[in-house]
Amino acid sequence: MDRRRPSRAFLRMFSIFGLVFAIALTVLGTLSVADERRGSEAVADVLDVEHRGARTFLTVQFTTNRGEVCESSLRVTVDANRAVSAGKRIRVHYAKSDPCLRVREAGDQSGWFMVLIAVVLLITFALLTYVVWRRPRPPLPLRYAGLP
């Protein structure tokens, strides 16, 4: 089985696109986490509980610090909220820029997971870009050909 190696031009383009993607993902993930850190917590009323296999989703309603009434659906990740039923109250955390769309439970730290993946991709594509774009070493002179 004779496999062709990818061309150097293809590897260079792939590494550049991957590096740009990883930089954009890292920046967006960092901005998202920063926006969530500027958000606030609120007490929310549980309107509905939906079980989808091993996952539990809650529909909650809460009022933000600015007086907006928001209704949102979120996935339960904190063990203390797995047995919650409709009519109960839980603490939620919402982002500053989109309080009704970006809601999660208080104590949920899953936002850092995306940043961690983005940083790993950034390091991987940075190394690939360095390896593909570096100058090849010149061959050794013939007088060193037989030396170890």
**What CATH number does residue 104 fall under?**
2.40.50.100
Would you say 91 and 80 are in contact if contact means Cβ atoms under 8 Å apart? Answer: no
Mean pLDDT (whole number) for 43-62: 88
Confidence of residue 95 (pLDDT cuts 50, 70, 90): confident
DSSP β-bridge partners for residue 60: 46, 72
The amino acid occupying position 44 is: A
User: Taking a C-beta distance cutoff of 8 angstroms, is the pair 132, 102 a contact?
Assistant: no
| For range 66-88, the mean pLDDT | 84
Of the candidates 26, 43, 35, 14, the one whose C-alpha atom is nearest the C-alpha of residue 101 is 35
How does residue 128 score in pLDDT terms, banded at 50, 70 and 90? very high
145 domain-assigned? no
pLDDT given at position 25: 93
Domain of residue 110 covers: 11-133
**In this predicted structure, what is the pLDDT of residue 1?**
62
pLDDT of residue 27: 95
Q: Is residue 87 part of a domain?
A: yes
- Work out the number of other CB atoms within 10 angstroms of the CB of residue 21: 14
Average pLDDT over residues 3-22: 91
Q: In terms of pTM, does the model score above 0.85?
A: no
